[in-house]
Amino acid sequence: MDCTSIKDLLTGETTRCAALTVAAIAFVLGALVTCLVCKLTKCRGTCAAKRDAAEKPQPAKFERREPRHDKPEKRHPAPADGSIEIYVGNLSYDLTDDQLRQAFEAYGKVNYARIITNKFNGKSKGFGFVHMPDPKEVEAALAGLDDKELMGRRLKCNVAKNVD
């Protein structure tokens, strides 16, 4: 049987093996040519990427990162009127600014009392700040209210850390 066309090559009984052999040889030659071209042109294709990945040491999966020191610590400015700012934490979510002010006014003059709220829904975040002008009154308030219960919650009071 003579092979005069591609149809004869694909449908012929005796030439089927020859066609498969030609296809396999063409595939292997194509792969070799591609690899040679890649090496000659110093291509950074998939072969090189796999080789580089195998050579590069991989970091541990759960490696502890070093803390970033390029960002400054977020702190708020000191009160402009010279008063001392007190941080009050673990507040009841139902406590109001006026109730917080009244709790601290038992120990001295309060310039300012504010509970920090969520800007989207206006609900308390559970902490606030109180400004008092006299250091002795501040000490008395800290001693009197720290770890004391107010509306079912034990308060955490200390002098706020301000930017100098």
Q: What is the mean pLDDT of the chain?
A: 79
Residues 6+ apart with CB under 8 A from 113: 97, 98, 100, 101, 104, 128, 129, 130, 131
Question: How does pLDDT run across 119-141, given as a tens digit for each residue?
Answer: 999 999 999 999 999 999 999 99
> What are the helix (H) ranges across 106-146?
135-145
CA angle (110, 74, 85) in 5-degree steps: 10
Q: What is the DSSP code (8-state) at residue 80?
A: T
In order of 12, 105, 163, the CA distances from 80 in angstroms are 98, 20, 12
Residue 7, pLDDT > 80, answer: no
* Higher-pLDDT residue of 36, 95: 95
Band of residue 82 on the pLDDT scale cut at 50, 70, 90: confident
Question: How does pLDDT run across 98-117, given as a tens digit for each residue?
Answer: 999 999 999 999 998 999 99
Over range 19-34, report the average pLDDT: 75
CA angle (44, 48, 53) in 5-degree steps: 120
* % of the chain exceeding 90 in pLDDT: 45
